[in-house]
Amino acid sequence: MTNSTTNTEDTSPYESFDSRKLHEAAERALDHHLGNPGHPPAPRREGLFSLNPDIDAEALLANASEDLLSISIIAADLADDIDGLRRSVALALSRMADGVRLMVEGTLDHIEVRNMAAKF
């Protein structure tokens, strides 16, 4: 069996490079790492979820309140099934969610009062 490839040690794979392509690649790399002063940086999308900017604050707070209630119920239910320190932690999480939910609900009340005052 013979090897059909020949040894070309004297030929570099970069011998026939296109300087324009190399320059463009270098510019892209520099822009990526150092930023491009002529263009504002693209907004970073961090995290798994994002909010729709068209949703008003009241709807977001109402949704947060419902989620906090769910967290509280789940933690309280879990506390019924466990004992000792873990039970105390689960109950503490339930109470913390309840406290934050009260703050969200209070904020919703303030928004409602402000909206009612604006109508008059």
pLDDT digits (tens, 9 = 90+) for 43-96: 666 777 788 889 999 999 999 999 999 999 999 999 999 999 999 999 999 999
CB 64 within 8 A of CB 57: no
Residue 98 belongs to domain spanning: 57-119
Question: Tokens standing for 108?
Answer: 């919703």
Would you give the DSSP letter of residue 39? Answer: S
Number of domains in the chain: 1
58 versus 3: which is more confidently predicted? 58
pTM above 0.75, yes or no: no
How far is residue 86's CA from residue 73's CA, in Å, rounded to a whole number? 16
With respect to residue 26, please indicate whether it lies within any of the assigned structural domains.
no
pLDDT at residue 41 is higher than 90: no
In a domain, 103, yes or no: yes
For 92, the token pair is 């503490």
Confidence (pLDDT) at 10: 59
Examine residue 19 and state whether it is found in any structural domain, yes or no. Answer: no
